[in-house]
Amino acid sequence: MGSGKAGLAALTMVHEEDFFLERWVKHWRRHIPAKHIYIINHGDSPAVSRIARECTIIRLPYDQTKKSVNQRRWQILSLHASALTSYFDWVICNDVDEIVLLDPKIKQSLPEYLAKIAEREHVPPAITPFAIEMVHVPEIEADALTPEDPILGKRRCYRLNSNYAKPCILGRPMEFKAGGHGGNHKEIYVDPHLYNFHLRFIDFEYSMSRFAKSLERRLAGKTEEEVKSMKKGGWAWVSVEKTFRSLSKQLPIKETIDHPDFRRKMLEERILRPPFTLMGGGRPKGNYRLPERFNGII
């Protein structure tokens, strides 16, 4: 594997997510050529062309019906990512609020590290990074985020959430489950040094504003009874906001990124939903604090 291929590519799909796209593109520009950064621009927003200049942009019209939008979105990503594996050793495909990082204690670049895996006698069809879901705790992280400054350092609190241990580094064609939370490869390889940082809770003010705007859009045109039903039923964004409010008040238990028991549990309790396999382990209670060596890398 790897002979004659171009190394590493990154792929995402966006719709009005400039805050995260700016950081996602900035991260990948440090590791790979701009032309190897692929962005599916759902709705053809002009901001994407500005933020991702020189990157490879694929334009799609916005689907006003929003019918099965998440399932269709991940079907599109599955097809594009799978096609790119014919030309690249590895294709990292995830949401724009997720960034794959190599532990700084490993003295290689991310492309170099993945190239070594591609040279092994047995190469896994996909790599699953360990999930780190960042959580802004304003009580101990008072500094505001700015576009110029790194995120990590100002933000170091996180929780464990196996949903985001995704098989997002593809070496062969694969079909993703909706959300990218699983794939149709039977073989699971969780790398010991790679992490998928999920950033949706990275800033309290920004996240709450985002939740409010989404709620307003979803409730537009609904009857009073429909609104009550959605809120009572724990509809997605209402539930997510409640979760974040609770997490944002929890001080970290300890400073570590080593969770051997949870890593083992993710694999031992893996979830089979044919044809997909998902990580087990769920979302244990408690926040943790990243070791200082991660400061500044995104």
> What is the per-residue pLDDT across 211-252, written as a single tens digit (0 to 9) for each?
877 766 666 666 777 666 666 655 566 778 889 999 999 999
Tell me the two tokens of residue 146.
């700015």
Residues 103 and 118: beta-carbon distance below 8 Å: no
The model carries a pTM of 0.93
In this predicted structure, the answer to whether residue 30 has a pLDDT above a threshold of 70 is yes
Report how far residue 77's alpha carbon sits from residue 288's, in angstroms, rounded to the nearest whole number: 32
Look up residue 251 and give its DSSP letter: P
Report how far residue 174's alpha carbon sits from residue 197's, in angstroms, rounded to the nearest whole number: 22
Q: How many helices (H) and strands (E) does the chain have?
A: 8, 13
What's the whole-number average pLDDT of the chain? Answer: 92
Q: How confident is the model at residue 110 (pLDDT cuts 50, 70, 90)?
A: very high
pLDDT digits (tens, 9 = 90+) for 1-24: 445 788 999 999 999 899 999 999
